[in-house]
Amino acid sequence: MDIFIALLTGIGLAAACGFRVFVPLFLVSLCLNSGVEMPFGLDTVLQALVGDDMAWLGQPMVTVGLGVAMVVEIGGFYVPWVDNLLDTIASPAAIVAGTMLSGALMPEVFGDGAMKWAAAIIAGGGSSGLVQATTVLARGTSSATTGGFGNPLVATLELFASVLTTVFAVLIPILVIGLLVAVVLFGLKLFGRRNPDPSPG
């Protein structure tokens, strides 16, 4: 059960990177570094989960740097059309961040070598890539239907989802399964709207 929970937590944090790359990284770093008791015991849970290879996330300057990057990222997605440009950067960055976070929490059964990071790429990178692809599709749909004016609403929902997913991944990781299913269904729905089946005849 502990192996399953650790795996789901890593996948959940990776999925959160798909919504916003730096939000989960900053929140994890803040919990590890602040020395302040976090709501719901987030700091205690994360300190127990994160291995020595991710101890650098607890450094004060890392927390500050991630905080600045998070603010810049969040602000950029509120500027119409700039947000679409940012997606070209955020997509590969989300996969890298998701792989890194899931790898840090990968259960010991995968070892510390190639098998661990292969699993992290598949589980973590795949989850963050899946979520990121859905957000890109949602933003593209919004840009096409509202001329970009609806994009700030999409950005707000993504930010909220990133924070919520990060918290749930640590506290209630079983919800990650439901989240990924919902993202897949939503993405398929958006894809169906943008690519309707041609009418016969």
pLDDT 10s digits, 95-136 = 999 998 888 777 777 777 788 889 889 989 999 999 999 998
Mean pLDDT (whole number) for 73-95? 87
Q: Give the model's pLDDT for residue 201.
A: 46
Q: Is the model's pLDDT at 3 over the cut of 80?
A: no
Higher pLDDT, 183 or 159: 159
Within 13 Å and on the Cβ side, how many CA atoms surround 177?
Answer: 5
Q: Give the model's pLDDT for residue 158.
A: 93
**Phi, psi of 52, rounded to the nearest 5 degrees:** -65, -30
Token digits for 174? Answer: 């079983």
Rounded to whole angstroms, the Cα distance separating 156 from 41 reads 26
Mean pLDDT (whole number) for 67-74? 94
Q: Is the model's pLDDT at 44 over the cut of 70?
A: no
